[in-house]
Chain A
């Protein structure tokens, strides 16, 4: 009778271990709340030189061209960050500045973001936006090599 009682013990222990293993291995991923996959594309837009369009920007450029007169769109950098809510992700910008994106909260189909741009340690621009989970926003303005820098930001809650 006693033997029968503990018959399933090895099985229970194995299942428990396999369940607990990922938590032990990746405690932050398993125990933390939702993570926001934040994607930042740094684009150089200019009208100097030959017309150019990076294939990765094809879809976005269609939209940008309807507003801007630039003939060249080059993808300088892509940064994808897994950010828990309220955690800031930093992207180093060409020219020495920084872009910081912080997912603040998720409401309905949108993610509330705080985006800040620093140049030489000084905040030059910041905005709070409600970004559609399946779409993106483009922020532009800083001058860079006969053109301007554009930052295309998108987010997805994992």
Chain B
């Protein structure tokens, strides 16, 4: 609905300027007098005022939101900085723990690999052969095992 159809004295712009306080005192007084009798302009002023209030209120919220976001960002950055500073360090040193753990992990893998590769040359625990049974018609049989490699030796004395 076009509200200015009913009032030919004042236009929307004047109503808007009145609400915004942009009319000089004289014109503002005249317009104030006018809206007492003109329902159209009164409604328009009411509407503009409402819009203005809503805008002002939202704008305030927006500003507060922006301020809040900026504050939050600042807080997060400060926390992150502190966390960065709080790196776990190797006990008794200033070296970060991960700088020690990484080479240690690699060394462990290399040592395990070397152990598997050269396990043949490692000291053995089991005898090279387990003797289930022996038969001989000679005087005696000895079963021995060397100390170092547990090499099994069977010795039977000749008849």
Number of A-B contacts (CB under 8 A): 89
B80 at the binding interface (Cβ < 8 Å):
no
Residues 60-82 of chain A, each 1 if its beta carbon lies under 8 Å from chain B, else 0: 10111011000000000000000
Query: Which of these binds chain A: B13-21, B29-37, B71-79, B123-131?
Result: B123-131
- Additional 13 contacts, C-beta under 8 A, given A124-B138, A125-B156, A141-B158: A64-B153, A66-B148, A67-B153, A124-B156, A126-B136, A131-B129, A132-B127, A135-B129, A135-B151, A137-B151, A140-B154, A141-B138, A143-B158
Chain A positions within 8 Å of B, measured between CB atoms, are 60, 62-64, 66-67, 110, 112, 123-132, 134-143, 148
A138 vs B130: C-alpha distance in the bound complex, in angstroms? 12
Which chain A residue shows the least CB distance to B149?
Answer: A63
B105 at the binding interface (Cβ < 8 Å):
no
Is B152's CB under 8 angstroms from A137's CB?
yes
9 contacts between A and B (CB under 8 A): A62-B148, A64-B146, A66-B146, A112-B132, A125-B134, A132-B127, A138-B153, A139-B156, A141-B155
Is A128's CB under 8 angstroms from B158's CB?
no
A123 vs B134: C-alpha distance in the bound complex, in angstroms? 12
Is A125's CB under 8 angstroms from B136's CB?
yes
B47 to chain A, nearest CB (A): 86
Which chain A residue shows the least CB distance to B133?
Answer: A128
How many residues on B have C-beta within 8 angstroms of the other chain's C-beta atoms? 29
B147 at the binding interface (Cβ < 8 Å):
yes
Is B138's CB under 8 angstroms from A127's CB?
no
Out of B128, B131, B135, B144, which one reaches A136, CB within 8 Å? Answer: B128
B120 at the binding interface (Cβ < 8 Å):
yes
Which chain A residue shows the least CB distance to B154?
Answer: A139
B137 at the binding interface (Cβ < 8 Å):
yes
B38 to chain A, nearest CB (A): 98
Is A127's CB under 8 angstroms from B151's CB?
no
Given contacts A63-B146, A124-B159, A141-B157, are A129 and B130 in contact (CB under 8 A)? Answer: yes
- Residues in A whose Cβ lies below 8 Å from that of B144: 67
Which chain A residue shows the least CB distance to B150?
Answer: A135
